[in-house]
Amino acid sequence: MSVKWQLTPYCCLAGLLVMSAKAVASDIPGMAPAAPWDLSGYIHYSVSSNNPNGTSSLVDHLLHQRFNFEYRFDSDLRLNVGMRNRLHYGDSPEIPGFAQVIEADSGYMDLSHNWLDSGSWLGNSQFDRLNLSWDMNQDWQLKLGRFRVNWAMSTLWNPNDIFNAYSIYDVDYAERRGSDAVQLSRQLGFASSIDAVYSINDDDGLDRNLDSYALRYLTNANGWDLQVLAGKSLTDYVLGAGFAGDIAGAGLRAEWSYFDPVDETWPVASHLNHSNNNKPSSPSSLATDIANQSLPSSHVATIEADYSFASQRNYLVRTSLLYISNPIDADSALAYLNLPLNARTLSFANWTYYVDVSADISDLSRLTLSSSYYDDGSYFVGASQSYSLSDDWQVQFILQRFDGSGASLFGQTPSTLSYLQFNWSF
């Protein structure tokens, strides 16, 4: 049975704002003793435009505020709380099902609440981090609650990220979602550990066990990080491995996972991944269409390399290849980009290619050009330029284009998305 929590966002916001003000007032070195807590975050504003070919554009505004709070009871016991508050205004909140997608919480604890839903306005608050960490001694650590289980070796696609996968096209959620889990870790020496994680999952009334659990062994040999893992991820038993290191100054990383289904079909989920950029039209119908598909075993593997050129512009080139032996059968880009994302659904194609190039335009500005290509003929191209206005202020412009051949998934519904974002950090 799901644990349902009723958020009181205004009270939470008021309390955290008071703590923020106290933190600023006391943050003078030498004038106050070290506090047992830290508070940081940001306020982010963006205006975006979604322009599908042949249909009217969607224009949206988003005010996104985040708190990251840590309280240290002593040197061994810590409480971490992360809360994000979002106020949407524009065309998307009027789309049927959009409010439900924004409010959806994929964890066992329902820590998301829409506190405003009126026409073009939609307000939501969510705790995406809420956990206790206990260093039981020098080698053992226990973590309980909602946190990110970061087992990734590569930086783009992560077949080993079996607890909390994410969309590479999401531009508004740098922290990525967490999992409701318990983790026990044992340090085995320099850069070596063994981790056991159990994540309970709300099945939304399904006759399926969607809990996830896994064991990982991580070590380092001759400067290379190596890992192996085994367990269960939602609907699949999983076996995986990964490595990360460098050759002649070039970073090289790879991950592989094998997914063996517990059941033969997808379970019908009442929630969908709400972090993607494309706007849903009917979440329940999309979930039902996906659930009718068979669920074969599948290999998911990626290899990634990057190289940084020592120069005034700090050029960085990154390329990646993703392979899925049995990808999902997505009938539309809308269905694919709004299904519950996990490590076996990182792409809808057997082969996906990616490359990006970034460079400093000036001391305060950096430009990134990126592109991905799917073997069905779909492609994505993007550009992002950031500019530092001051130590705490940043502005960023992002342009994304989804397109492809006429028979390809993205080519059926090509669209262009643009974002102008302002960010203040504290």
Rounded CA separation 23/232 (Å): 42
* More confident of the two residues 33 and 108: 108
Looking at the predicted structure, is the pLDDT value of residue 321 above 50?
yes
Domain that holds residue 79: 3-425
* More confident of the two residues 201 and 86: 86
Say how many CA atoms lie within 13 Å of 331 toward its Cβ.
10
Q: What is the reported pLDDT for 276? A: 41
Rounded CA separation 318/259 (Å): 27
Total-model pTM: 0.84
Mean pLDDT of 149-174: 92
Q: What is the reported pLDDT for 338? A: 62
pLDDT tens-digit series, residues 230-257: 999 988 999 999 999 999 999 999 999 9
pLDDT tens-digit series, residues 86-114: 999 999 999 999 999 899 888 899 999 99
Rounded CA separation 50/277 (Å): 9
Q: What is the reported pLDDT for 271? A: 39
Taking alpha carbons only, the member of 116, 122, 125 closest to residue 98 is 122
pLDDT tens-digit series, residues 366-408: 999 999 999 999 999 999 999 999 999 999 999 999 999 988 9
Contact 219, 239 (CB under 8 A): no
Q: What is the CATH number of the domain that holds 51?
A: 2.40.160.10
Contact 109, 75 (CB under 8 A): no
One-character DSSP codes across 326-352: S----SSHHHHHTS---TT-S-SSSEE
Looking at the predicted structure, is the pLDDT value of residue 14 above 50?
no
Rounded CA separation 419/51 (Å): 12
Looking at the predicted structure, is the pLDDT value of residue 167 above 90?
no
Mean pLDDT of 412-425: 95
pLDDT tens-digit series, residues 270-318: 433 333 444 434 444 444 445 556 678 999 999 999 999 988 999 999 9
Residue 69's H or E segment, with its range, is strand 58-72
Say how many CA atoms lie within 13 Å of 267 toward its Cβ.
22
Q: What is the reported pLDDT for 280? A: 39
Integer angstrom CA distances of residue 235 from 171, 186, 257, 266, 272: 28, 27, 14, 8, 16
Share of the chain above pLDDT 90, in %: 67
Looking at the predicted structure, is the pLDDT value of residue 339 above 70?
no
Lowest-confidence region among 37-51, 273-287, 318-332: 273-287
As for how many domains the chain has, the answer is 1
